[in-house]
Structure 1
Amino acid sequence: MAEVNPFSLSGTQYSQHWPSLVSPDYWLNKGFILATGQPKAAWRWAPGTTFLSTQRAVLTGVVLYLTMVFGGQMIMKKVAKPIRMKRVTQLHNLTLTLISGFLLLAFLEQCLPVWRDKGFFFTICGAESWTQPMEVIYYLNYLTKWLEFIDTILLVLKKKRLEFLHYYHHSLTMVLCFEELLGRVSVAWIICSINLFVHVIMYYYYFLASCGKKVWWKEIVTTLQIAQFVVDLGLCYFCLYTHITFHAVVSLPSVGADCRGTRLAAYYGCVLLSSYLLLFVQFFIKTYIKEEKGGYLGFRPMNYDDLKAKKPVEQKVEKTE
């Protein structure tokens, strides 16, 4: 979208906006000092140098991931019993719940003060809204997409059937986060924040399920995912339209401003998120909307499993009568 300009490092020392005990920025800085011996403000995203920052690395990751999906399924067909790694699954789901919550708070700590002082439009389009503290969080969020590949490994080992939506979403979301880093798309912060909010709920649901808990609100997770993409697409198309109309040769209705980020990243995000919305709606209809008479539309009642177990018996009685 708009031409990418280097961000200013002025004021990065003021990136901690909350008290130290509850400030993600404070703890991130402590983590950087412990791991690298340097403060967080010294870190830079450098394509070709930073870990997993090249297109070759991303492409290799996608190819290896898909190879693991299809190759792993072929191998597991020859294995007599599923490999259930209950403790690993629990730890994985709980870890991603906590990481997602931490990164969500990190985004909010940086963006809410800017939203308050300069307005919402500046946070999603402003050329100076992409800052070094934000770039750190974007990069960490990008790394979590690699960590989420473990979801698929665990499902393959359990010999679970994988929907196309599962591996399509996992692989290309990692690519999307990489493109957002390359393109420095300002609106990405709210897309990432909503996604992290949904992931807190989703991975907590998975954690409870892996602990053997009966959780009735699976439909709510899918509904939140669909709502997420509706909001994301509204923002993405608005920002892309704002950019196009700002640079249009002919006069078009516009807000008279530009949006930061590369056009390639904007196009990729709009197309990919549109496909996600269609696939998740299709999944919702297939999974939760019952076609038979008397079925449930949308959320099932809490005693749905009991009702479902009784239904075949009731139908059999009707036939014998």
Structure 2
Amino acid sequence: MAEVNPFSLSGTQHSQHWPSLVSPDWWLNKAFIAVTGQPKSAWRWAPGTTSFSTQRTVLTGVVLYLAMVFGGQAIMKKVAKPIRLKRFTQLHNLALTLISGFLLLAFMEQCLTAWRQNGFFFTICGAESWTQPMEILYYLNYMTKWLEFVDTVLLVLKKKNLEFLHYYHHSLTMVLCFEELLGRVSVAWIICSINLLVHVIMYYYYFLASCGKKVWWKEIVTTLQIVQFVVDLGLCYFCLYTHVTFHAVVPLPSVGADCRGTRLAAYYGCVLLSSYLLLFVQFFIKTYIKGETGSHLGFRPLNYKQEGEKTQKTE
């Protein structure tokens, strides 16, 4: 039965914490019913059964992605002109902006409520913080990483030079999201939420750029990505240390509690995010400090082009 007041929480499902029309959980439930005929509470992550839930699928996806990168670049060298799918690029960037924003709000609806009721430590380490509604969001976030492969396809078609950072980051982030699902890592909600916030800003920037708008704040996006990894690593290393010291044979200083998640997922996340931080800092220095593009954050380029010469746009 429909609610009399759509902005009332009376009679809502247990995972809905905001009024219906502004609740991502409410809209997700409607979408699940429309597509599958069942409420989203009936969905379960089942490795080996759920779509894209096997290690073989993930490995195959990475291999095919890298084959597309290098094979596509080789093919496009033989093509006279770049292929610019302007309208499709605009729609792709706008779609990822909206999807990222929706998932960010969905994480906030679940996690802010848990934080308020049980405290911050519970949300990043508590076993009970890994709920079925959260698992759906982790899975949907994981699926967006497959959709983001389209970014690379569009750049290859445009005959853009792809840096190592681009395809390294795209391919292994998908693997990281998969490992977080398998390892049931509670702190993953912060990693996902910050990443989604950055992606809202980043894909909106790409959307404006694809529409021909002059956007001056590209380096702010890179700065936010670096800040993202600093925060992620601080929390990830804290959670890993908390887990290791709780199970250590030799007594070590600890908070006296365990952190939810497998060590494999934790080790992989710490190593991968550390490499991201180093690579993004290197990219920032190369592009905005030693590079030849103007800066709006106070960094003075060390090299200068002749007056009037246009700089090549990088993506």
Aligned mates of 1:311, 1:155 — CA distance in 2: 26
* 1:20 and 1:26 in contact (8 A); partners too: yes
Corresponding residue SS for 2:129: coil
Pairing 1:58–2:55 present: no
Alignment of 1:1-321 (within 5 A): 13-290=13-290, 299=297, 310=307
Percent pairwise identity: 85
Greater relative CO, 1 or 2 (CA 8 Å, sep 6+): 1
Q: CA deviation at 1:266?
A: 0.3
* 1:290 and 1:297 in contact (8 A); partners too: no
The change in CA–CA distance for 1:258 and 1:298 in structure 2 (over 3 A counts) is farther
Aligned mates of 1:127, 1:179 — CA distance in 2: 17
The change in CA–CA distance for 1:311 and 1:299 in structure 2 (over 3 A counts) is farther
The change in CA–CA distance for 1:33 and 1:107 in structure 2 (over 3 A counts) is same
User: Corresponding residue for 1:315?
Assistant: none
* 1:289 and 1:296 in contact (8 A); partners too: no
Which amino acid counterpart does residue 310 of structure 1 have in structure 2? E
* 2:219 and 2:295 in contact (8 A); partners too: no
* 1:23 and 1:106 in contact (8 A); partners too: yes
Aligned mates of 1:290, 1:180 — CA distance in 2: 36
Aligned mates of 2:86, 2:206 — CA distance in 1: 12
TM-score by length of structure 1 reads: 0.89
Aligned mates of 1:291, 1:265 — CA distance in 2: 36
Which amino acid counterpart does residue 176 of structure 2 have in structure 1? L
Aligned mates of 1:211, 1:298 — CA distance in 2: 22
Which amino acid counterpart does residue 233 of structure 1 have in structure 2? L
The one-character-per-residue Cα deviations of 1:179-225 (angstroms, maximum 9, x if unpaired) are 00000000000100000000000000000000000000000000000
Q: CA deviation at 1:290?
A: 3.1
* 2:176 and 2:268 in contact (8 A); partners too: yes
Q: Which runs of 5+ in 2 are unaligned?
A: 1-11, 310-315
Aligned mates of 2:282, 2:17 — CA distance in 1: 42
Q: CA deviation at 1:231?
A: 0.1
Q: CA deviation at 1:14?
A: 1.1
Corresponding residue SS for 2:150: helix
Which amino acid counterpart does residue 38 of structure 2 have in structure 1? Q
* 1:290 and 1:296 in contact (8 A); partners too: no
Which has the larger Rg?
Answer: 1
The one-character-per-residue Cα deviations of 1:269-320 (angstroms, maximum 9, x if unpaired) are 000000000000000000000379xx9777269xx9xx966388xxxxxxxx
Q: Say which structure is richer in helix.
A: 1
The one-character-per-residue Cα deviations of 1:158-198 (angstroms, maximum 9, x if unpaired) are 00000000000000000000000000000000100000000
TM-score by length of structure 2 reads: 0.90
CA RMSD of the aligned region, Å? Answer: 1.9
